[in-house]
């Protein structure tokens, strides 16, 4: 997909973080925008800001974990613009703690947004985009799924999040193969960012009341929350820079997108463990002080 001007982009999680940066970048390229987010006030503010800049914007409140709401998003996009060219399955949330301390509600919330949000986006929008291609021989589309470096490795106290992102990696790689074998004019990219200041460490503010846990956080959950907040807020790459990298990848029809190269060293070690049947490496091998600090917090 080389030409963005006048094309239609659908972006989930568009009110903040990567989603808002994707929207800004798309607007700068002259795209028509369909913005979706569960945060209705922030969504309205993001849409109003882009409209003031001259963008053609449709804002649709949407909980991506709900299939019927993603279908409504697709219907609204087609009613307003008649086509979808670029889809960002981007909405995401996070939680942490020792994996056996994660509740059913933790699993349902994180997998609902991070995994089923992508599943619904792929299941609903891919046939729609294929239909657009049948009507227009010149049609070119692209799907970008947001995963994480956490989808390529497995740090402790991040079990639920890790699972959601590993599944997203598998889903996206399979989507790439399925579209290629059917010779569809739709490209696919997998975004695997490292720690970026997007506000994901505050995602619990949008957690539905029906999925809240009773009681206080465990020591491991508090530790994971503290470590994640520090790592996210100290990220060296901005959401805007990631958006630029992502649009470049779409232009180049490039599948893997990384915000930084340094974490790939650990990904390589993990793959070597798999190939050589070794026990998994220690992700804190190069930072033993972090491992000991985490252990100390867990003991509390």
d(CA 216, CA 221): 10
Q: How many CB atoms lie within 10 A of CB 87?
A: 28
Q: Is 42 helix (H, G, I), strand (E, B) or coil?
A: helix
What is the predicted pLDDT for the residue at 291? Answer: 87
Closest residue by Cα to residue 241 from 40, 17, 44: 17
Q: What is the dihedral of CA 219, 221, 224, 229, to 10 degrees?
A: -110
Domains of the chain, residue spans:
8-263
What is the predicted pLDDT for the residue at 230? Answer: 87
Residues of the chain with pLDDT under 70: none
Residues forming the active site: 161
- Look at the block and give the residue holding tokens 């619904």: 120
| 8 A C-beta contact, residue 63 and residue 72 | no
| 8 A C-beta contact, residue 125 and residue 58 | no
What is the predicted pLDDT for the residue at 289? Answer: 87
pTM of the model: 0.95
Q: What is the dihedral of CA 113, 118, 121, 127, to 10 degrees?
A: -160
Tens of pLDDT, residues 189-219: 999 999 998 888 788 888 888 889 888 899 9
Q: Please give the radius of gyration of the chain, using alpha carbons only, rounded to the nearest integer.
A: 19
What is the predicted pLDDT for the residue at 144? Answer: 98
> Which fold, 8-263?
Rossmann fold (3.40.50)
d(CA 205, CA 41): 13
The gap from C-alpha 76 to its chain's centroid, in whole angstroms, comes to 22
Tens of pLDDT, residues 257-267: 999 999 999 99
What is the predicted pLDDT for the residue at 201? Answer: 79
Beta strand 86-89 pairing with 8-12: parallel
């Amino acid at each position: 997909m080389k030409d963005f001007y006048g094309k239609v982009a659908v972006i989930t999680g568009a009110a903040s973080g990567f989603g808002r940066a994707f929207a800004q970048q798309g607007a700068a390229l002259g795209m028509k925008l369909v913005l979706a987010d569960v945060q209705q006030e922030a969504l309205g503010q993001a849409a109003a800001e882009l409209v003031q800049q001259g963008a053609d914007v449709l804002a649709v409140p949407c909980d991506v974990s709900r299939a019927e709401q993603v279908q409504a998003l697709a219907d609204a996009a087609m009613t307003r613009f008649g086509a979808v060219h670029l889809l960002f399955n981007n909405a995401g949330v996070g939680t942490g703690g020792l994996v056996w301390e994660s509740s059913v509600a933790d699993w349902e919330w994180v997998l609902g947004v991070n995994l089923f949000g992508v599943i619904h986006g792929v299941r609903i929008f891919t046939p729609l985009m294929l239909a657009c291609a049948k009507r227009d021989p010149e049609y070119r589309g692209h799907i970008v799924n947001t995963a994480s470096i956490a989808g390529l490795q497995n740090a402790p106290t991040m079990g639920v999040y890790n699972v959601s992102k590993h599944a997203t990696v598998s889903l996206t790689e399979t989507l790439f193969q399925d579209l290629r074998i059917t010779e569809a004019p739709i490209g696919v990219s997998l975004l695997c960012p490292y720690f970026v200041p997007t506000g994901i460490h505050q995602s619990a503010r949008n957690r539905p009341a029906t999925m809240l846990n009773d009681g206080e956080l465990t020591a491991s959950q508090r530790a994971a929350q503290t470590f994640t907040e520090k790592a996210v807020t100290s990220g060296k790459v901005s959401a805007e820079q990631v958006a630029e990298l992502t649009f470049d990848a779409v232009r180049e029809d490039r599948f893997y997108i990384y915000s930084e190269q340094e974490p790939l060293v650990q990904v390589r070690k993990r793959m070597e463990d798999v190939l050589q049947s070794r026990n998994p490496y220690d992700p804190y091998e190069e930072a033993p002080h972090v491992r000991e600090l985490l252990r100390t917090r867990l003991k509390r």
